[in-house]
Structure formats: structure tokens, C-alpha cells
């Protein structure tokens, strides 16, 4: 079961927690003649789901999501919102998160601390740079201003972030080229520096791709998520937060 995508694990956890909460309510009824309120069942289900998520060693943001999911559903029902609002929210989430259930790479946004650390690793000679999963384009926009001799690219599979980055590039008059492609389909040999801020689940396959495609003496950089099979050649810690640590490998 641990090999399942986190999204499917979460579905199993939610269903298991719901059954456990119903069974717990049944035991309370026959043992103490106590009938739990619906909101009590919802929080009991959420608490059980959060514990199961921790036991399954899901990423740190999943237990709070499990805890609040069913209570949030109850609150939404009580609000009596029009049906089109739920459809609009669903469409918006799809546009931003697209194939997250398959890639297991949600929309992560890095910050200026990481960008500054990344800039310290880049060469002073002309180079080509690509941000895999470029989100809203913050990384290549920042670096383009610092390295006018560089050629910058970003690739993003989710439609909304890709469109936003394209619009931002047009408004800025930027030379950054944003592609709407899955990074797994790209030929990384085209680039001198490959940067990724993805997820632990994506790193093993990406590392294999980088080893197979990247040219000798090019640079592979990962923010926050190291490669387990080879120690990095450079580590740049932006601050005490491990999410700002850069790991770099000379290929």
C-alpha cells in the first residue's frame, strides 16, 4: 500500500477513518446509550484520519488536511452555497494542480532566500538554465535580471501557472521562454543548469533522467529535496529552514 500515490493513500485513509468513526459511534451507543452529534463524528473521523496519515508517514501537510476535510464538508453544506461555486472551485483547482495525483508534485513556490542562494551557484559565463516545474515563473525572472548573459527557460504542466508566467513575461518584456510540457519528456542535454523544486517522490526518476541526459560538467540543482543515492557536490543552506537548502551535483 505504501507504493500507492499519496492521493490514493489518502482516499483509503479517509474511508478507513470513516468506518472507524461509525464503528466507534456504534460502540458508544450500545455501551453507554450515547448518540454522538454529526459534528462530533466528523471531528472523530478527522482525528483518526490524521493519525493514520502520520502512521503512514505521509508528507507533513497531509494530517491537517485529513483532520479538517470532513468538518469542512459539513460547514460547506450548512452554508448552502450555490452549486456553481463548487464547480468553479473544482475547475480552479484542476487548472492549478492538473496532474498532481500522477506526478505527486503539488504547486510549490520558492522564495527570495532560495533564489539568492541559487544565484551564487551560477556561472559568470553564458549558460542556459531551465526551471523544472516553474510555477509562476519567479525563479527565472529573478535570475534573468542578475545574469543578462544567461538564457532562461521554464517548464510547467499545469495550465494556470503556465499561463500566468507567460502573461508575466509579456508584461515584463522578459526573454524567459515558458513551455507547457512535462519535464520528463524534455531532453535535459540542452541545458547547462537544471533546477528543480519538486517533491521527494519525484526525485528518483528525475535523477535517473539527469544522469542519462545531462552533459559532462553541467549542473543539477534541487531545492529542499536531495538525491539519496549520491551525496551532493555543493550544499547551500539559505537559513535555518531546510526548505531553503540547495543541493547541487556536477554531472
C-alpha 246/C-alpha 113 separation (Å) is 11
Average pLDDT over residues 73-77: 83
Show the cell assigned to 225.
Answer: 529535496
* pLDDT above 50 for 1: no
Name which of 192, 189, 170 is nearest 126 in CA terms. Answer: 192
In percent, the amount of the chain with pLDDT more than 90 equals 45
Domains and CATH numbers, the chain: 6-80 (no CATH), 112-250 (3.40.50.150)
Is-above-0.75 flag for pTM?
Answer: no
Of 41-50, 90-99, 223-232, where does the model show the most confidence? 41-50
Give pLDDT, residue 45. Answer: 92
| Element (DSSP H or E) covering residue 178 | strand 177-179
The per-residue pLDDT for range 184-242, each reduced to its tens digit, is 899 999 999 999 988 777 889 999 999 999 999 999 999 888 888 899 999 888 665 66
| Element (DSSP H or E) covering residue 194 | strand 193-196
Amino acid at each position: 500500500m505504501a507504493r500507492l500515490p499519496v492521493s490514493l493513500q489518502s482516499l483509503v485513509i479517509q474511508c478507513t477513518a470513516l468506518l472507524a468513526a461509525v464503528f466507534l459511534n456504534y460502540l458508544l451507543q450500545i455501551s453507554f446509550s450515547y448518540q454522538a452529534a454529526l459534528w462530533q463524528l466528523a471531528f472523530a473521523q478527522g482525528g483518526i484520519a490524521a493519525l493514520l496519515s502520520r502512521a503512514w508517514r505521509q508528507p507533513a501537510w497531509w494530517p491537517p488536511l485529513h483532520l479538517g476535510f470532513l468538518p469542512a464538508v459539513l460547514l460547506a453544506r450548512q452554508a448552502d452555497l450555490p452549486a456553481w461555486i463548487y464547480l468553479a472551485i473544482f475547475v480552479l483547482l484542476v487548472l492549478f494542480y492538473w496532474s498532481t495525483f500522477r506526478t505527486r508534485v503539488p504547486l510549490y513556490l520558492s522564495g527570495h532566500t532560495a533564489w539568492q542562494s541559487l544565484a551564487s551557484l551560477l556561472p559568470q559565463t553564458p549558460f542556459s538554465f531551465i526551471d523544472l516545474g516553474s510555477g509562476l515563473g519567479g525563479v527565472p525572472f529573478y535570475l534573468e535580471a542578475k545574469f543578462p548573459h544567461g538564457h532562461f527557460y521554464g517548464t510547467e504542466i499545469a495550465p494556470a501557472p503556465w499561463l500566468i508566467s507567460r502573461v508575466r513575461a509579456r508584461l515584463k518584456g522578459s526573454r524567459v521562454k515558458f513551455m507547457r510540457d512535462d519535464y520528463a519528456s524534455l531532453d535535459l542535454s540542452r541545458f547547462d543548469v537544471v533546477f528543480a523544486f519538486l517533491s521527494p517522490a519525484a526525485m528518483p526518476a528525475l535523477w535517473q533522467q539527469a544522469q542519462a541526459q545531462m552533459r559532462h560538467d553541467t549542473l543539477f540543482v534541487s531545492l529542499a529535496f536531495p538525491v539519496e543515492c549520491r551525496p551532493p557536490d555543493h550544499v547551500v543552506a539559505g537559513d535555518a529552514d531546510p526548505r531553503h537548502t540547495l543541493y547541487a551535483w556536477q554531472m
